[in-house]
Structure 1
């Protein structure tokens, strides 16, 4: 009998039987080893590649040599994440997780503020609540470097082919993606995907209906009504809120450049720099609010986008910086928190300050707007 065709081979994460070979490729990849050396060895050692590579490879073989399953990778990632949370946040809190069924697979759709941290912290919440971690949607624009591809696919990431531009090829890629998401969910694996392509650099969290139409491509194939198919996916909106916006100055710089020059072209390695900055800088208190699976308000992609937005805006946890930037005089703000926000703002170049303030103000104003609309109905 012939082997079944692996129709998702080019986009799916690695399976258990592929893990050991992937880890071996990572340890043999000098570009990856040099990055590990740069952030983990004293500067004088990492400046001597021959010595630093030998040391790092020896250590990694000792640490990772026996890894041969996705679950083992998740345990290691959880350990690194625990260190990162301890080092760069004051606390990470969760709400709504106790309302979800640990045995159920969900499609988590969240706002998007940090390339890797958003799904990593969702996984941290699930892991802490003894729930299965998610498979993570990641754009192929981030996979220009071989070791990044290895790391992502080892860590349960699947590939969204953003670089495909020809209409026929694009439809094929989106149909494959839609089917992969559905098959993952029905197979008991939760999924995370951002509410739109790219991070919300201006603090304006909004779901793109095109993303939801992509989800429905597989439903159309099954001849199911939009609302019926969406209910099957068990979509849970997640609102992620950082006390200190990751990469705020870099995001503001991009917006400023667009305003003054019409467009912004990323330099090589800029996304990797954003990932490293997101990991390494102080984030203060981070809150993740898990919503309720969507059963109503999903008759069309546009209506569903509004329903997701409503849950994300409504449950967004406002930090002192959001109140300060939003000009809210009624909020009771701890003096130290206010001072920390002002000090952080003082380090932002003057021409970028209004953009950074707007980034923090936006969630506050949208919440006020949502509440006034609801009370006016």
Structure 2
């Protein structure tokens, strides 16, 4: 049961919600949070409203659903989705998603689940993002499982095993769980599944049969596409800072700034594609070490304790399959095709956008500051938007495997 997992990591249970609501209501930043979700209500009214919340689902439907509605209304032109008819109520799934925004990728999936009369899912969330007690109480009231990303090798291995057990327990008990395909957001538009993450998922399952191990997790590839990438200028700046080969070091408060920017920035059209669950028939061909070179794209460190969970490189081939499904589910917008043409100096994709679309994108591109880095920053920015087009074209031949 979920209650059996460490109390400081697992989501709150219904019996813990009233205490969490008391702490949320008493936090000094609660009035600002409430004003975003329910514009126009007084702080006193917001306190009264949140103190009526007694269960996890009530918190999600009254507060998180309203939060998503505000984000959609104020920062999007249109929000659309595709939801596989093969996903059935009563079955637990592991939603493996590309990761473009810290908060919205998983939060918007919950909207899609509700629209399709499905239970909301558990959500895995890095401990570095829980910046204060208010953030932690909101997150864990919203079915979030805290993933500890710091520690020595022994501690990281232990935490990976706990996370793996949590995901498998959720699915076995008929609950679903969302997890990003990699540690941290995609900054360059290249959505690549982490091999270490795929191996982590297998740690709690059968070591004898990788097909049975992964099939029992009911993995569903999820693609979220933003016409205008959340934090695009921040991501371009981060990539630009790393051009000299030095590792990028986050400044204090940078994660919080990215969260707020991602929520408030204009996104244009947004689309989520919730694909078909991977079946045993999909996974069976991965037993064979075929000559497809695509798995060589994955260069994650291979911690020794995880190797025995990966017979004959099965995880690398599963990464390739997930990449293909996620990339082919990605919806490219005019912004992507414009960037691809500008980057390569062609008009090959011009039938996919209007002159007005191109003018608007160029005006946005011109906002990049600093003339001395303008050309480098411009190329980085264009690649953020252009890479999904190439991903889609490269992945299409493999998506059906």
> When the two structures are superposed, what TM-score results if normalisation uses the length of structure 2?
0.83
| Matching of residue 346 in structure 1 with residue 332 in structure 2 | no
Aligned partner (choices 16, 19, 23) of residue 17 of structure 2: 19
Query: Which residue of structure 2 lines up, in the alignment, with residue 46 of structure 1?
Result: none
Calculate the aligned-residue CA RMSD, in Å: 2.4
**Is the Cα–Cα contact under 8 Å of residues 219 and 229 in structure 1 kept in the other structure?**
yes
Residue pair 2:25, 2:51 contacting (<8 A) in 1 also: no
Correspondent of 2:242 among 258, 261, 283 = 258
Partner of 1:288: 272
The alpha carbon displacement at 1:242 in A equals 0.4
Cα separation, 2, equivalents of 1:191 and 1:374: 26
**Structure 1 counterpart SS, 2:156:** helix
Answer whether contact 2:98 2:191 (CA < 8 A) is retained. yes
Question: What do the CA deviations read for 1:237-264 (whole angstroms, capped 9, x no partner)?
Answer: 0111100000000011111111136122
- Further displaced range: 301-310 or 323-332: 323-332
SS of 1:344's equivalent in the other structure is helix
Equivalent positions of 1:1-377 (< 5 A) are 6-33=4-31, 56=43, 58-76=44-62, 77-164=64-151, 166-220=152-206, 223-260=207-244, 262-295=246-279, 296-297=282-283, 298-299=286-287, 300-327=314-341, 329-330=348-349, 331-349=351-369, 350=374, 351-371=376-396
**Matches of 2:214 and 2:166, distance apart in 1:** 15
How many residues in Structure 1 have an aligned counterpart in Structure 2?
357
| C-alpha separation in 2, matches of 1:254 and 1:170 | 26
Structure 2 residue runs of 5 or longer lacking an equivalent are 288-313, 342-346
Decide whether the 8 Å contact of 1:249 with 1:352 is kept in 2: no
CA displacement at 1:219 relative to structure 2: 0.8
1:326–1:172: structure 2 CA closer, same or farther, 3 Å change rule? Answer: same
Q: Secondary structure at the match of 1:271?
A: helix
Q: CA deviation at 1:174?
A: 1.1
Describe the shift of the 1:38–1:360 C-alpha distance in structure 2 as closer, same or farther (beyond 3 A).
Answer: closer
Deviation at 1:40, TM superposition (A): 8.2
Q: Displacement, 1:145?
A: 1.3
Instruction: Give the stretch that moved more between structures: 203-212 or 330-339.
Output: 330-339
Residues 170 and 116 from structure 1, CA distance in 2 versus in 1: closer, same or farther, beyond 3 angstroms?
same
Structure 1 gaps, min length 5: 43-54
Q: Tell me how far apart the structure 2 counterparts of residues 40 and 181 of structure 1 sit (CA, whole Å).
A: 33
Segment drifting more, 243-252 vs 101-110? 101-110
CA distance in 2 between partners of 1:117 and 1:157 (Å) = 13
SS state at 2:216 partner: helix
Structure 1 311/8 Cα, relative in aligned 2: closer, same or farther at 3 Å? same
Q: 1:338 & 1:242 partners in 2: Cα distance?
A: 17
CA distance in 2, matches of 1:83, 1:37: 11
CA deviation after TM superposition for structure 1 residue 309, in Å: 0.3
Is 2:238–2:248's contact at 8 Å kept on the other side of the alignment? yes
Q: 1:340: Cα distance to partner?
A: 2.3
